[in-house]
Amino acid sequence: GQQVMQIPQYQHVQEGEDFTTYCNSSTTLSNIQWYKQRPGGHPVFLIQLVKSGEVKKQKRLTFQFGEAKKNSSLHITATQTTDVGTYFCAGVGGSEKLVFGKGTKLTVNP
């Protein structure tokens, strides 16, 4: 079945450093979404990408959708302690269901 893999599983950075998480699908995706889950919280929608090669920005966050629509990335510039949490990608492929990756847990050392 459809699988969505995320790497790395964990990332620890110093405040001010950049951070990137990568998402790869076993199948072509019609769209991909990114969610953030704070420690002890619930997933919160960040953004959706639908077009091949699409790039979207939200302040210090940059989201990309690959040309083949099978991969995506989230890049955070100059991390802050408020960026702490787990970042999930979720994609819709052949299964016609939104399948979540296992997430990348980001910790930021002040």
Partner 1 sequence: DAGVIQSPRHEVTEMGQEVTLRCKPISGHNSLFWYRQTMMRGLELLIYFNNNVPIDDSGMPEDRFSAKMPNASFSTLKIQPSEPRDSAVYFCASSLGAGPGETQYFGPGTRLLVL
Binding site for partner 1 (CB under 8 A): 30-31, 33, 41-45, 48, 50, 88, 92, 96-103
80 vs 95 by CB, closer to partner 1: 95
15 vs 38 by CB, closer to partner 1: 38
Q: SS3 breakdown of the chain: % helix, strand, coil, rounded to 5?
A: 5, 55, 40
CB of 62 to partner 1, least distance (A): 19
28 vs 48 by CB, closer to partner 1: 48
CB of 78 to partner 1, least distance (A): 27
How far apart are the C-alpha atoms of 29 and 25, rounded to whole Å? 7
CB of 83 to partner 1, least distance (A): 19
Residue in the block written with tokens 């002040």: 110
Using CA atoms of 91, 96, 98, 99 in order, give the dihedral in degrees to the nearest 10: -70
Residue in the block written with tokens 């019609």: 30
CB of 27 to partner 1, least distance (A): 13
13 vs 98 by CB, closer to partner 1: 98
Q: Taking Cα atoms as reference points, which of 71, 74, 72, 96 lies closest to residue 85?
A: 74
